[in-house]
Chain A
Amino acid sequence: MHQAALLGGMMRDAPRYGWEMAQPALHSWRKMAEAVQNHVKSLNWGHRVQLQDRKVKYFNFKASFVNKHTVCGVLKGGKEILLSAEHIVIATGGRPRYPTHIEGAVEYGITSDDLFWLKESPGKTLVVGASYVALECAGFLTGLGLDATIMIRSIPLRAFDQQMASLVTEHMAVHGTRILKGCMPLRVEKLPDGQLQVTWVDLASDRRDMGTFDTVLWATGRVPETRSLNLEKAGVHTDPHTQKILVDAQDATSVPHIYAIGDVAEGRPELTPTAVMAGRLLAKRLCGRSSDLMDYDNVPTTVFTPLEYGCVGLSEEAAVALHGEEGVEVYHAYYKPLEFTVPERDASQCYIKMVCLRNPPQLVLGLHFLGPNAGEVTQGFALALKCGASYEQVMRTVGIHPTCAEEVSKLRISKRSGLDPTVTGCG
């Protein structure tokens, strides 16, 4: 859906590049949703086929523990099946959290679990939350031409680099998403015409305000799917605050032969590729094929907001907290992607920063990239960080001209110098 929104942007660029379009394009949610859903269904099917190919038995039922070695599954007809195993892996993930204390939240609101499966356009939408899910959804809805508002209680993208996070939201605002900062919803009511009326409070002024929307999307976080597992029967401990399962470096829970991986495990990044790799490594260890542990350091990730944000390693705040203001050197640049020039797109938020140790050889601690194709750009640099890259080594890498990624290899201006970090020209 992000891609659909990007295509919308490209279609606006196209006339500047000589493509003559009779009239501006309109977007059909129904068509997009059908295509996306078909692809997802084909993936579901693919996973089932793969399981079958590899002779993995698959049951479509909800399971819960009976004891340390046994789980019970309830089939659709209510029939129960007991299964026992030497090792058990819990990978039940998480589901979006509903703010149940807000009146009308559950009755009238939806979550990202529903959004992608909507058959009809959500229309004018209020997205509540500041997680990457919230920003991504509000971003692509705007890009598809819908009226989207995002309501943030405190700060966007907590735990991410905050300078980058504010640039992300700044770009979204320029891009047409309405942003209500420091606001908290109080209740949702359904009006006679079917629209949803949301009342919220501005936390700074304590002023109340109201607005009507077609859809209210909750993206305030996710809860791990642990409550219905009867974990206590197996003796698996969870964190009382997060409800996530406590695990050690081997991914083992408080019961040594029961493991937990992915979003359900406490302290792990909630990312698909980390879950995939953790699963694969766990299987290898269980079969005695290797003793490799998952390395959760320097996990790269990308937020697919309209202007994508990719990062790997430490945020500037985290680096300063670890090494002190004096121990850290930050190199940065505002750049303009070449493709933005012809359609005169605003590039005010296209920004890169590299967080390094200050002492030579200035080991790279973190890289933050805001711009088109951030995911593609960040992946290779994640490898460079893995290889222990220094600032000097990155600077000695010849750039690929003309790309956005080459700007990373040309970061000459340090924040400390106070010089203007705006890139001009090719040199």
Chain B
Amino acid sequence: MGDVRGVSVPSPPGRRARLSAAVTSRLSSAAREELRRRLLGLIEGHRVVIFSKSYCPHSTRVKELFSSLGVECNILELDQVDDGVSVQEVLSELTNQRTVPNIFVNKVHVGGCDRTFQAHQSGLLQKLLQDDPAYDYDLIVIGGGSGGLSCAQEAAVLGRKVLVLDFVVPSPQGTSWGLGGTCVNVGCIPKKLMHQAALLGQALTDSRKFGWEYSQQVKHNWGTMTEAIQNHIGSLNWGYRLSLREKTVAYINSYGEFVEHHKIKATNGKGQETCYTAAKFVVATGERPRYLGIQGDKEYCITSDDLFSLPYCPGTTLVVGASYVALECAGFLAGLGLEVTVMVRSVLLRGFDQEMAERVGSYMEQQGVRFLRKFVPVVVQQLEKGSPGKLKVVAKSTEGPETIEGVYNTVLLAIGRDSCTKKMGLEKIGVKINEKSGKIPVNDVEQTNVPYVYAVGDVLEGKPELTPIAVQAGKLLARRLFGGRLEKCDYVNVPTVVFTPLEYGCCGYSEERAVEVYQKENLEVYHTLFWPLEWTVACRDNNTCYAKIICNKLDDDRVIGFHVLGPNAGEIIQGFAAAMKCGLTKQLLDDTIGIHPTCAEVFTTLQVTKASGLDITQKGC
């Protein structure tokens, strides 16, 4: 009895195709009957069987197709088994097909490579695959955020039976929220609305210059704002539930944890447990704010998880961290009239273009935000209880023995986020995670090392943590799994915006990264300061807003980095990002007519290169 080798494509242990008896190519009729019986047994006993040759490119394509569909295959490499020639003979009797690959799905002979791809295109293949063992669901999505919901809904639209498990573990301060994930509840949406509230404060100041007259006393009421924002969020939560119901996606407000292959345990708020099985799983559990691990942090500090629904005005606030979350929160709190300090361990906006990051910071400083550079908190103590109370923060220098103390009403930690991948039984089914970051590595079709488990959103290793990316990735994943589509999520040239008091938008490379990749001498950087028309009459500073593009001289001056610091940066950069997708060059920028008067038009008239060292300041009145 000889083992049949092969099985190079993902396949769980113990499910290897086995054939017995080394047979010579010249078969007796008894031996032939025996082999025929064994082949049929193989075909009947497995969902997908591929008869293949290890060097055959067509076979490889078919294997990749099934792999991209997340389907386990039993593969018999005819060139790697002793009786390969006989197998091929018997197969040709069985199927009238002599060539490899030769594919069977749920006992049905699909054919060769072309026929399989045709079946995939027409949806036949998916239909054949569907007749599956009795799992409760075709797909279980763990995590009801942007990525998870978009994947679940798309799968349901494609006719699949889908379950979403979503459970928010309360923050150490006791905050929790509804369906929709970080973006809707404690991220983009409330952040942008509070940013807008702060911008309106600025508008009130500007409006006097534009002739509006009102009594001097304008105060901000935190309660009115948060209530309005929370009401909006509540309506979004409700909208998501409605939309799931409309698309017949089952939704359970329970915590999901893998217990064995294809099986998950869902624990609800009352501790009741129920188990569900599914053919496929998507992990979309996202991230939660990180704590410092110092005395008093979990007891007294809040994070962005708590801030947006804080029932009282935070008062004098220390923001710890220099991530975009830190700077955005510090920015709008200052804009609402609060005294704000930001404690920064090293650099602002790590990973972003550092020139831009410093400009973001210096505008915030102008707006009254205080920065404490090169300090980290070591102890947080409560001096007084209250709403808000009083906290004493001791911090030490990162460069020496110096320590400082400060008293604040609120301490907001924004030092980073950790993936929610640790307590969900991934190890039980063998899904690999990055032990250090907790992130899940996936291939270019969002598949983990366990073929039927996928991941989307912020839990992914090395992918941008952005809502629209998660939405896109989730939707495309569902279409590949259940819709016969092949399109992959495109993570190149993803635009993003930091909603600091002066917004910063970028797409493509930072200047540092561009220099690393392309070398300084191969790049040309064009830049200018600009003065938005709306700022002129309002007498706001004329040398603050800044535009910069990085061009690759070796490639037709193609724009590989695009940066704008100014009002409405988010609205500005979207179209340019689309243009970068289409191969934007400096020449095309020069040839395009500006829209007058806007900020965005500045990119059509960039003339000064950084290398020239020429003056870029704008002359005011």
B423 within 8 A of A: no
Docked-complex contact B578 and A19, CB < 8 angstroms: no
Docked-complex contact A379 and B601, CB < 8 angstroms: yes
Known A-B contacts A271-B593, A379-B594, A380-B575; the reply to A426 vs B236 at CB < 8 A is: yes
For chain A, which range describes its interface: under 10, 10 to 19, 20 to 34, or 35 or more residues? 35 or more
Which B residues lie within 8 Å of A341 (CB)? 193, 232
Could you say which of A56-64, A220-228, A296-304 contacts chain B?
Answer: A296-304
Which B residues lie within 8 Å of A91 (CB)? none
Docked-complex contact B621 and A42, CB < 8 angstroms: yes
Where chain B touches its partner, the secondary structure class is: helix
Could you say which of A100-108, A241-249, A319-327, A397-405 contacts chain B?
Answer: A397-405
Which B residues lie within 8 Å of A406 (CB)? 468, 574
Which B residues lie within 8 Å of A300 (CB)? 592-593, 595
Interface string of A351-390 (1 = CB under 8 A from B): 0000000000000000000001101111111111011111
Find residues 384-427 in chain A having any chain B CB closer than 8 Å to their own CB. 384, 386-390, 393-394, 396-406, 408-409, 424-427
Docked-complex contact B537 and A35, CB < 8 angstroms: yes
Docked-complex contact A425 and B240, CB < 8 angstroms: yes
Which B residues lie within 8 Å of A372 (CB)? 571
Which B residues lie within 8 Å of A396 (CB)? 490, 581
Residue of A nearest to B212 (CB): A25
Docked-complex contact A273 and B593, CB < 8 angstroms: yes
Docked-complex contact B575 and A377, CB < 8 angstroms: yes
Residue of A nearest to B207 (CB): A7
B203 within 8 A of A: yes
Measured in the bound complex, the distance between the Cα atoms of B567 and A3 in whole Å is 13
Docked-complex contact A383 and B207, CB < 8 angstroms: no
Which A residues lie within 8 Å of B347 (CB)? none
Point out the residue from A20, A33, A35, A302 that lies within 8 Å of B221, measured CB to CB.
A20
Interface string of B588-602 (1 = CB under 8 A from A): 110111111111110
Docked-complex contact B596 and A272, CB < 8 angstroms: yes
Measured in the bound complex, the distance between the Cα atoms of B194 and A16 in whole Å is 12
Docked-complex contact B212 and A16, CB < 8 angstroms: no
Find residues 6-57 in chain A having any chain B CB closer than 8 Å to their own CB. 7-8, 10-11, 13-33, 35-36, 38-39, 42, 46
Which B residues lie within 8 Å of A405 (CB)? 570-575
Known A-B contacts A398-B495, A404-B571; the reply to A375 vs B207 at CB < 8 A is: no
Docked-complex contact B596 and A403, CB < 8 angstroms: no
Where chain A touches its partner, the secondary structure class is: helix
Docked-complex contact B579 and A403, CB < 8 angstroms: no
Docked-complex contact B578 and A20, CB < 8 angstroms: no
Could you say which of B5-13, B15-23, B222-230, B414-422 contacts chain A?
Answer: B222-230
Point out the residue from A20, A24, A376, A388 that lies within 8 Å of B219, measured CB to CB.
A20
A338 within 8 A of B: yes
Interface string of A87-118 (1 = CB under 8 A from B): 00000000000000000000000000000000
Residues of A within 8 A of B (CB): 3-4, 7-8, 10-11, 13-33, 35-36, 38-39, 42, 46, 144, 271-274, 277, 295, 299-302, 310, 338-339, 341-342, 372-373, 375-384, 386-390, 393-394, 396-406, 408-409, 424-427
A/B interface sample: 25 pairs, CB < 8 A: A4-B207, A4-B211, A11-B203, A22-B218, A271-B593, A271-B596, A302-B595, A377-B571, A379-B572, A380-B577, A382-B575, A383-B576, A383-B592, A386-B591, A387-B583, A397-B574, A397-B581, A399-B574, A400-B573, A400-B574, A402-B188, A402-B189, A403-B571, A406-B574, A426-B184
| A-B interface, 6 closest residue pairs, ranked by CB to CB distance from nearest | A380-B575, A32-B211, A18-B225, A379-B600, A405-B574, A387-B582
Residues of B within 8 A of A (CB): 146, 149-150, 153, 180, 183-184, 188-189, 192-193, 196-197, 200-201, 203-204, 206-207, 209-215, 217-226, 228-229, 232, 236, 239-240, 243, 336, 466-469, 471-472, 490, 493-497, 505, 533-534, 536-537, 568, 570-579, 581-584, 588-589, 591-601, 603-604, 619-621
